[in-house]
Amino acid sequence: MEIWINPACSKCRSAVKLLDEEGAEYTVRRYLEDVPDAGEIRAVLGRLGLEPWDITRTGEAEAKELGVADWPRDAAARDRWIDALAGHPKLIQRPIITADDGTAVVGRTDDAVREALSRSAG
């Protein structure tokens, strides 16, 4: 299991705390420092079953500067969104937990983190 976190994020800290309490084995990726490239973002989107606009933090200042609120949300614009996430990792929703079964969840609630744990339980 891997969890993409921003240590300054309370939801990320809560997710890590729950993983620790459950004795989970996981790897931490500080995605603002170890920025995922477009290919990794595509892979995680596939695991999440989501589109890039679904995991974009549109309230961030960088999102406003880029004008993402006005971008189309369709297949033709998908690469533009992915490139924006790779170029501006602050825009990536967090935490993202990749489970051992090949799926992933956005772990913003305890229930979502538990879901990832259940998918990774051996």
Do 2 and 97 touch, CB atoms closer than 8 A? yes
Q: Kindly name the residue from 1, 2, 9, 13 that is annotated as catalytic.
A: 9
3-state SS track over 40-60 = HHHHHHHHHCCCHHHHECCCC
Annotated catalytic residue 12: no
Could you tell me the CA-to-CA distances from 31 to 4, 21, 50, 104, 121 in Å, in that order?
Answer: 6, 23, 19, 15, 24
Could you tell me the CA-to-CA distances from 100 to 45, 67, 85, 93, 121 in Å, in that order?
Answer: 15, 36, 24, 20, 8
Coil, strand or helix: which one is 17? helix
- Supply the residues annotated as catalytic: 9
